Structure 1
Amino acid sequence: MSLPKKSPAIAIAVIALLALAVLLVMVLDKPESTAAGNTSAHGGQADHEEVPRGPQGGRLLEQDNFALELTIVEQGVPPEYHVYAYADGEPLDPDNVDLTITLDRLGGRQDRIGFKPFEDYLRGQQTVVEPHSFDVTVEASYQGEEYRWQFDNHEGRTTIPNAMAELSGIATETAGPQTLERVVTLHGRVQVDPDRLSQLRARFPGVVQSIEGDLGTRVKQGETLAVIQSNESLQNYTLKAPIDGVIVKRNLQIGQATGDAVLFVIADLSQVWVQLDVFGRDTEQVEVGQTVHVGNLEGYEREGVIDWISPLAEHASQSVRARIVLDNPDGRLRPGQFVHGEVVVEQEEVPLAVRHSAIQDFRDFKVVYAKFDDTYEVRMLELGRRDAQWVEVLGGLEPGTPYVTQNSYLIKADIEKSGATHAH
C-alpha cells in the first residue's frame, strides 16, 4: 500500500515549523553556562562558579599579599561602591590606597569611578547606575606597587543570533522623539453627505416601459435607469442618473404608473460624513480642526479632521454633533454604521519615548530590552507622560538605542531562566 503524496508547499511548511520549534528550544533552553552572562545575586558570576568572598560579603580580589573587597551598597543611598583593602589578611587604612574602577557597558558607555577614604573603606564618588551589567577593570596602588584585575559583572543580558531572533518574531525599533496625544473618545454614526444624495422622480406622469438600473448597481452620471411612456404625449422618455453613485433605493416596476413618488435614490459614497456626539464637559475640549482617529466595529480605521460643530444641541440627548468628512474609496464606511472617534485634544512632543508593548517588569523596575548586535540587555526606565501607544522616557535609555518592541517576553524568559537577574 502506497502512502498519499504531500504537496511540496505542505512539506516546506512542515520543515519550516519544525526548524522554528528547534530554534526556539535552543533559545529558551540554553545551558546556564552560556546564558546571559552567568550572574548571581551577589555579583559577577553564577553561584556555581565560586566567586571568592570577603568579610563584608563582597567580591574578593587578591594579588600577592594585597586584597580588595568590592561591594555595592544600595540601602538608603543611590548604588555606590564601597571597597575594603587588606594586607596579609588584615584591614588597611583606606588613606594608604589609591583606587579607580572602570565600568565598560554595552553601547560604548564607560564609567570611570574615583574613590576617597571614608571611615574604614574607600567610597566611590559616582553612582553605579542600573543595570549593574558591565566589564569591570580595577586599578589600585599601595606602597608603590600597582595592582590590576578584570572580570565580568553581567545582569539582565542574553545573546540570541539574529537569524534565530527573526524566526522567533523578535522585532526592534530605535528609541527617539515622539508626539504624545491626549484623546477624548466619542461615538456616532456614518451618514451620507446630503450633497452627494439624489432622489429621482419621473419628469412626467406615465407608465414604466423598461428598467435598466437595479438596486445596488453602481451607475455613472447620464446613464439610463428607466424608460417611461408619457401619459400625455404617449412618447417614451428616459430617466437618467444625475450623479455618479450607487442605487440604494428602487421603487418602480415595469407597467407601473408613475406620479410624484421617488423612483430611485442614488448615493455617492466615495465621500461620507461621520457625525460624532459630544456630551457634557467634552464640548469644552472638542474643537474644529482637531484630528480624529475613526474606527468601526470591523476594526477599520481612518483619520480625519473635525470641520464643523453644530451650534445646536440634540433635544433628547443634549449632545452636540461634530462632523468629519472622510474619503471612502473602498466603501468600508457605510451610512448608518456605528463608529467611534478618538479626538486628539492635545499634542505634545517629547524627546524620548518607547512603545507600551515593549515594556516588561524586571525586579522592581519597568524596563525595555536594548539590542546591541545579537546581544540584548535590560534598561531600567524612569517614565513620564503617556498616551495610548507611547510612554515618555525620562531616564535609563539613550536616544538612538534599538530596543525590542515585539515578543520581548522571550528575552525576559531567557534571562530569568539563566538566573541573571541582579549582580553585585
Structure 2
Amino acid sequence: MSFTLTRRPLWALLLTCAALSLTACGDKAAKPDEHGETEADFERGPHNGRLLRDGDFSLEVTIFETGVEPEFRLYGYRKDKPLDPRQVNVEVALTRLGGKVDRFSFNPQEDYLRGAGLVREPHSFDVAVTAREGGKAHAWRYASYEGRTTLSKVAAEAGGVKVEVAGPATMGEAVTLSGRIEVTPEGKGEVRAWYPGRIMSLRGELGQMVRKGQILARVESSESLQTYSIPAPISGQIIEKNSNVGDVAYDRPIFVIADPTKLHAELFVYPRDSERVRVGQKVEVRSLSGADRILATVESILPSVDVTSQTQLAHVHLPDGAGPAWRPGLGVEGGVTVASRPVALAVRTGAIQRFRDFDVVFARIGDTYEVRMLELGVRTPEWTEVLGGLEPGTTYVTDGAFLIRADIEKSGASHDH
C-alpha cells in the first residue's frame, strides 16, 4: 500500500533545477527509511499495514507480495485483539487516476481475509473500504498515492516537458555502420589548364567561395603563346590550390572546388552485414555525439572491397542544405533499417525511466503525472514495444521525464509492503 503527503507543485522544483536542488514537498516532513519507504502519518498495525479504526473495531489493510503477485490481506481486530476472519465481511474499491475503479471482495484464509484478484501496479489510488462485523457497518476513505505528482501546463512547458499518445508503431531492426561525410562526385570540380603553359595570373585563394563561370586563372599556351582564361566549372569553395603564378600548368589541377551543399555519407559495410544492407533502405545518419540526425536512403553500394579493411562503401545522399553540422571528413554513424514489423503498442525508447525495480513511463491525465510500470518487448533506439502496463491511447511524457521522476523520488512517496 502506498501513501503520499500533499506536495507543492513542480514549478517550485523547476525554479531551483539549475542548482540541481529538487526539494521534497509536504505539509509535514517525511523521512524515507532504508528501503525508500516513508514514515507516513497514519497508524500501522501488527503486520505493518494501515490500521483503520471505528470504535472498538479496527481493520488492518496490507498488500502482500512476498513470493506472490500483489494481493490484499486484511486483518480484523476487536479492542486490538485478533478476530476470526469469518466474522468480518469486507469490500474495497480502488479509484485510479483517470476514474477507473478496481473492486475487491474477500475470503477468509488462515488468520486473514484474502482479496480476490491482483492489485495492479502502480499502487496509487483513492481507497474506499466498507466492512460489516458484529452486525455493525464501518466505512473509511483515504488517498494512497505513489509515483504521482501535479504540474501546471505553464510549468510543464517551462520545464521542457513534452508528451505523445501511446499507440501502434513500426519497429525497425537496424544495423549500425560507421563512416564519414564526403562531398559527392558531382559536387567537386577541377580547374585545369586546357593546354600546357605558364600560369600568368590567379584570381582564387584557398577557402574562397566562387561562382560557376568566374575566371580563376590565365595561362599562356606553350605552343601558340596565346593567353587564355579558365573559368570555375561549378560554384563552391576552393579546397585545394596546387599552383602559383609562374608555374607550368599541365597534369595537376590548379584549383579544386567543392560545393558544400552536395554531400553524402560513406558508410563502411563489413562482410557480416553485406547480405542485409541494400540500396533503397532507410538510414538514420547520426553525428558521433548523437546531437545531429538526418533520415536518408542508401543510394548505392560500391561492388569493390577494400583490401585492407575488407569493407564495401555504401553511399547515402544527404539532402541539399543539410546544415553546417555536416562537414566533409566528419565521422558519423548510420543506422540502416534492414527489417521492420508493426506492433500494436510502443513508446519512445528515450521516454523510459527507472522507478523502483521497474521500467516506466509517466502518464499524464490533466495536470497530474503518474508512473506506469511496463512489460517490454523488442527495443530499438527509437521505439520500444509495450506488452503490458499501459493502455493504448495514454498520453505519456517523452521529454522532461527525469524532472518528474526526481520530484516524485524526493517527495517521499512510499510503497509499503
CA contact (8 A) 2:166 2:346 kept: yes
Question: What are the ranges of 5 or more consecutive residues in structure 2 without an aligned counterpart?
Answer: 1-11
| Counterpart selection for 1:186 from 173, 177, 180 | 177
1:398 equivalenced with 2:382 (yes/no) = no
- For 1:151, the equivalent position in structure 2 comes to 142
Specify the alignment match of 1:219 in structure 2. 210
2:294 to 290, 294, 302: 302
Amino acid in the other structure paired with 1:30: C
Task: Give me the whole-angstrom Cα distance separating, in 2, the residues matched to 1:52 and 1:129.
Answer: 22
1:237-280 CA distances to partner (integer Å, 9 max, x unpaired)? 32223333333333444454544543333334432343222223
Q: Give the letter aligned to residue 240 of structure 2.
A: K
The normalised TM-score by structure 1 is 0.78
Kept after mapping to 1: 8 A contact 2:186/2:262: no
More displaced stretch, 90-99 vs 189-198: 90-99
One-letter amino acid of the structure 2 residue matched with residue 194 of structure 1: P
Partner residue of 2:316 out of 308, 319, 324: 324
What is the one-letter code of the residue matched to 2:361?
A: V
Partner residue, 2:121: 130
1:79–1:201 distance in 2 versus 1, CA, 3 Å: closer
Pick aligned residue for 1:21 from 7, 16, 20: 16
Mapped contact 1:370–1:376 kept (Cα < 8 A): yes
Structure 2 CA distance for partners of 1:256 and 1:95, relative to 1, 3 Å: closer
Partner of 1:5: none
- What letter matches 2:342 in structure 1? E
Which residue pairs with 1:378 in the alignment? 371
Distance 1:337 1:232, change over 3 A: same
In structure 2, the CA distance between the partners of 1:93 and 1:346, relative to structure 1 (3 Å rule), is same
Equivalent residue in structure 1 for 2:194, among 203, 207, 210: 203
Q: CA–CA distance in 2 between the matches of 1:76 and 1:114? A: 22
Match of 1:14 in 2: none
- Please identify, of 107-116 and 335-344, the stretch whose mean Cα deviation from structure 2 is larger: 335-344
Structure label with greater radius of gyration: 1
| SS, match of residue 137 in structure 1 | strand
Alpha-carbon displacement from aligned partner over 1:284-314 (angstroms, at most 9, x marks no partner): 3222222222234575443322122233322
Cα distance change of structure 1 residues 225 and 378 upon mapping to structure 2, 3 Å threshold? same
Change in 2 beyond 3 A, CA 1:34/1:397 = farther
In the alignment, is the contact (CA less than 8 A) between 1:41 and 1:423 conserved in 2? no
Counterpart CA distance in 2 for 1:327 and 1:167 is: 33
Alignment of 1:232-251 (within 5 A): 233-251=224-242
Structural mapping, 1:66-81, within 5 Å: 67-81=58-72
Query: More displaced, 232-241 or 277-286?
Result: 232-241
| 1:277 and 2:248 correspond | no
Distance 1:142 1:411 in 2: 43
Query: Per residue, is there more helix in 1 or in 2?
Result: 1
Give, in whole Å, the separation in 2 of the partners of 1:358 and 1:326: 28
Instruction: Tell whether the 8 Å contact from 2:200 to 2:218 is kept in structure 1 after alignment.
Output: yes
The alignment covers a number of residue pairs equal to: 403
> 1:373/1:423 Cα in 2 relative to 1: closer, same or farther (>3 Å)?
farther
Per-residue deviation, 1:382: 1.9
How large is the Cα RMSD of the aligned pairs? 3.9
What residue number does 1:107 align with? Answer: 98
| SS of residue in 1 equivalent to 2:340 | strand
Partner of 1:349: 342
**Per-residue deviation, residues 71-106 of structure 1 (Å, max 9, x unmatched):** 322223221223344567776665565432110111
Checking the alignment, whether the CA contact within 8 Å between 2:13 and 2:21 is kept in structure 1 is no
CA 260–89 in structure 1, closer or farther in 2 if over 3 Å, else same:
closer
Query: How far is the alpha carbon of 1:400 from its aligned partner?
Result: 3.3
The answer (yes or no) to whether the contact 2:283–2:296 under 8 Å persists in 1 is yes
* Secondary structure in 2 matching 1:49: coil
Preserved contact between residue 65 and residue 87 of structure 1 (Cα < 8 Å): yes
Answer yes or no: is 1:315 the counterpart of 2:315. Answer: no
Unaligned runs of 5+ in 1: 1-16
Q: Which residue of 2 aligns with 1:421?
A: 414
Between the aligned residues of both structures, percent identity stands at 45
Query: Matches of 1:25 and 1:250 in 2, distance apart?
Result: 52
Map residues 159-178 of structure 1 onto 2, 5 A cutoff.
159-178=150-169
Question: Letter of the aligned partner of 2:318 in structure 1?
Answer: L
Q: Does the CA-based 8 Å contact 1:230-1:236 persist in structure 2?
A: yes
Q: Provide the C-alpha distance between the structure 2 equivalents of 1:230 and 1:310, rounded to a whole number of angstroms.
A: 40
Q: Which moved more, 1:304-313 or 1:20-29?
A: 20-29
Aligned-partner SS, 2:189: strand
Using structure 2 for the length normalisation, give the TM-score. 0.79
Where 1:422 maps in the other structure, the secondary structure is coil
